Structure 1
Amino acid sequence: MIDKSLIERKIDIILENLKYLQDVKEIQKDSFLASFEKIQATKHSLQESIEACIDIANHVIASMGFERAETYADMFERLAENGIIGKKLRDKLMNMAKFRNLLVHAYGKIDIERLWGILQEDLEDILSFVKEIERFLEENE
């Protein structure tokens, strides 16, 4: 059974982090690249947002009895296979899950230019995931 309140708490975490990331997105690139604090906070906010997406995916997979995913990226494959998210969003979220692994396990090797690119171009993907999950919750009440 889907625990709607658990998912809503995870969505709140995502939205809180996205608000911060949207603010950082508006600063000048040179200012961002020169600010250790902004870079670190951006890494953490992205990691927390992605992990909340993964937690939601894991909960939906387990609650709905879908085939178990072997990796975090595979969780988004399972959601797409079962019609919860589209294939284009699946691909983007699978890449986000892989980036999360870099943030956690290869944190000293993060390409700051790539981080800036994600900040500028990919935040909408996380918001799209939230919208798809909210749609799924409405359809399964």
Structure 2
Amino acid sequence: MNCFCTGQEVALLNLIWTLNLYLTGTIAEFWINMYDIERITKIIEDIERYFKDLDYLNIKSKEDLKDRKNFYSLSMILFSITNRTIDLGDEIVSANKLGMPSTYKDIFRLLCRNNIISRDLERKLSTLVFYRNLLSHEYYDLSEKDVFDVFIRISAVKEFLEIVKTLLRKNK
């Protein structure tokens, strides 16, 4: 989360936080107000648009990826979905002050450790991070099988989206 605050703003936020703790005994209601709803909404819209693009490609098997247009299109869409999923997870981690992730996988570990996502979903999303790194750094070594494997696994993002949407609805 990019937050540049003056000393006075930080002091005011700390005062509000302290008062909230004193009055309610909980920080949950306070932190929901710290979500950047506009940014989160944009990220969710991007991910949903990428899933529509994915449907448009109409990939059914890894043989469909022998067509290089399909291969590169699918690779880019999967990369984009995964990047925006990382952004979304980072927003939730930052807004809830869950810790400071040092890697992309740490984002999902923190969400799991704080009972926002299940251990199973953490593993699925962490696997997508692994593939995202392959897509971005070792693109030349990827096969149709690798890209199709990511394609099969990308549905975990939809599960994460539903969790985030539920979290936002609960805390309005």
Query: Same-fold call, TM > 0.5?
Result: yes
Q: Which residue of 1 aligns with 2:166?
A: 135
1:13-52 to structure 2, matched below 5 A, reads 13-30=46-63, 32-52=64-84
What is the CA–CA distance in structure 1 between the aligned matches of 2:120 and 2:58, rounded to whole Å?
Answer: 23
Q: Which structure has the higher relative contact order (CA within 8 Å, separation 6+)?
A: 1
Aligned-residue offset at 1:112: 1.7
Query: Which structure's CA Rg is the greater one?
Result: 2
Q: Map Cα deviations across residues 115-138 of structure 1 (whole Å, 9 max, x no partner).
A: 11232x223211111101111111
User: What RMSD over aligned residues (CA atoms) do the two structures have, in Å?
Assistant: 1.4
- 1:102 aligned residue: 134
1:71 paired residue among 99, 103, 111: 103
Q: Which runs of 5+ in 2 are unaligned?
A: 1-33
Query: Is residue 78–residue 150 contact of structure 2 (8 Å, CA) maintained in 1?
Result: no
2:142 maps to 1:113: no
Q: Secondary structure at the match of 2:35?
A: coil
- How far off is 1:25 after superposition? 4.5
Query: Percent of aligned positions with the same letter in both sequences?
Result: 23
**Counterpart for residue 93 of structure 2:** 61
CA distance in structure 1 between the aligned counterparts of 2:130 and 2:66, rounded to whole angstroms = 26
SS at structure 2 position matched to 1:13: helix
Q: Does residue 120 of structure 2 align to residue 88 of structure 1? A: yes
Structure 2 letter corresponding to 1:126: V
Q: TM-score, normalised by structure 2?
A: 0.75
Equivalenced residue count is 139
CA displacement at 1:61 relative to structure 2 = 1.1
Quick one: which of 14, 37, 44 aligns to 1:11? 44
User: Is the CA contact (8 Å cut-off) linking 1:18 and 1:123 kept in structure 2?
Assistant: no
